[in-house]
Amino acid sequence: MLARTCLALALAAAVALPALADDAKKSPTPKELLAKAAPTEWRTPDPQNLVYMDLPQGRVIIELAQDWTPAHAANIRTLIREHYFDGTQVIRVQDNFVTQWGDADGDDKKKAKSIGTAKETLTPEFTRKGGKAYPFTKLDDGDVYAPEVGFSDGFPVARDPKAGEAWIAHCYGTVGVARDTGAETGNGSSLYAIIGQAPRNLDRNLAVAGKVIKGMEFLSAYPRGGEPMGFYDKPEQRVTIKSVRIAADVPEAERTPIQVLRTDSKTFAAVVDAKRNRRDDFYTRPAGKIDLCNISVPVRDPSKK
């Protein structure tokens, strides 16, 4: 009996994809795929690009889009290092749209907190035009809003090759730079995170500062504000931000270990495909397609791997 089992196993091992009646039809789970990822498929974000925003509910980690909006990233670092954000608040939560934070008195010049040495206005960085090449892993599923979409170093990107323009898409978790009506009025002192259906009509109209890679569940669950655009009508509803720091400024032992799956890796492609064609005991009709903003880029705590 044992011998026969061993023979069966030996034969099975010689087959690349053993046809197991039911399992053959099942797509692998992200967990299964990630467990097999090579160490080189994970990247450790540059701590100069990682923002720790500590809220009473927990830590939010944002990766700044240094290669896409460098002037905004620089101004945000200045604001953070001069402790501008410490004690500012979550001032707006508009359902199915954004959670926004900053100085509640920011629009009142007499009361507004000083932005210190940070710049008051910035040249818009709404799209990236021509110039330097950037990594791009194309998603072949199509897109309603742009001629091409894909990922670039973890960011969901849309582009128009004919116009020679590319931009980070406003997907769930994308962090943007709030501004007034003038295109140059956004300076990073007020930021927002997308908490609903991707409002892609914001694309190319605002600068994207980066994306939340951990802690979205804190930003998305605050009570919605009572004013028309979701600003809190009662000041006591605002949540006060304990501190905002750049990870590089935090002693290494106190940093939150985090790695992001490379979006140009084979495992990422497999994770995307497993979701696109998910088929298991529950999902019996795979979608066959996937929207850019339906793809979450896996992160992990490397200390627990």
63 binds its own copies (CB under 8 A): no
204 binds its own copies (CB under 8 A): yes
133 binds its own copies (CB under 8 A): no
166 binds its own copies (CB under 8 A): no
| φ, ψ for residue 148, nearest 5 deg | -140, 145
Instruction: Please report how close the Cβ of residue 255 comes to its own copies at its closest, in angstroms.
Output: 23
Q: From edge to edge, which strands make up the β-sheet containing 208-214?
A: 239-240, 89-94, 98-102, 191-194, 174-177, 208-214, 58-64, 50-55, 243-246
203 binds its own copies (CB under 8 A): yes
Instruction: Please report how close the Cβ of residue 242 comes to its own copies at its closest, in angstroms.
Output: 18
Q: CA-CA-CA-CA torsion for 112, 114, 205, 158, nearest 10 degrees?
A: -130
Displacement of CA 182 from its chain's centroid (Å): 26
Considering only residues 196, 229, 234, 257, which one is a binding residue for its own copies as defined by CB under 8 A?
196
What stretches of 84-164 adopt beta strand conformation (E)? 89-94, 98-102, 128-129, 137-139, 148-152, 155-160
21 binds its own copies (CB under 8 A): no
Give me the residues paired with residue 63 across strands.
50, 211
Tell me how far apart the alpha carbons of residues 183 and 181 are, in angstroms, rounded to a whole number: 6
110 binds its own copies (CB under 8 A): no
Strands 174-177 and 191-194: antiparallel
Instruction: Please give the residues from 65 up to 104 whose contact with its own copies meets the rule CB under 8 A.
Output: 93, 95-96
Tell me how far apart the alpha carbons of residues 209 and 159 are, in angstroms, rounded to a whole number: 17
Count of residues in contact with its own copies, rule CB under 8 A: 46
135 binds its own copies (CB under 8 A): no
Quote the DSSP letter at residue 127.
Answer: S
The region of 45-53, 218-226, 265-273, 297-305 touching its own copies under the rule CB under 8 A is 218-226
Q: Which string of DSSP letters, residue by residue, matches 186-242?
A: --SSSEEEE-SS--GGGTTTS-EEEEEEE-HHHHTSSPPPSSTTSB-SSGGGPEEP-
Tokens 């990422």 sit on residue? 268
Instruction: Please report how close the Cβ of residue 295 comes to its own copies at its closest, in angstroms.
Output: 9
Tell me how far apart the alpha carbons of residues 277 and 26 are, in angstroms, rounded to a whole number: 9
183 binds its own copies (CB under 8 A): yes
221 binds its own copies (CB under 8 A): yes
Instruction: Please report how close the Cβ of residue 106 comes to its own copies at its closest, in angstroms.
Output: 17
Instruction: Please give the residues from 262 up to 281 whose contact with its own copies meets the rule CB under 8 A.
Output: 275-276, 278, 281
Instruction: Please report how close the Cβ of residue 221 comes to its own copies at its closest, in angstroms.
Output: 5
Nearer Cβ to its own copies, position 66 or 294? 294
Residue ranges binding its own copies (CB under 8 A): 93, 95-96, 126, 141-145, 171-173, 181, 183, 196-201, 203-205, 216-217, 220-224, 275-276, 278, 281-287, 289-291, 293-294, 296
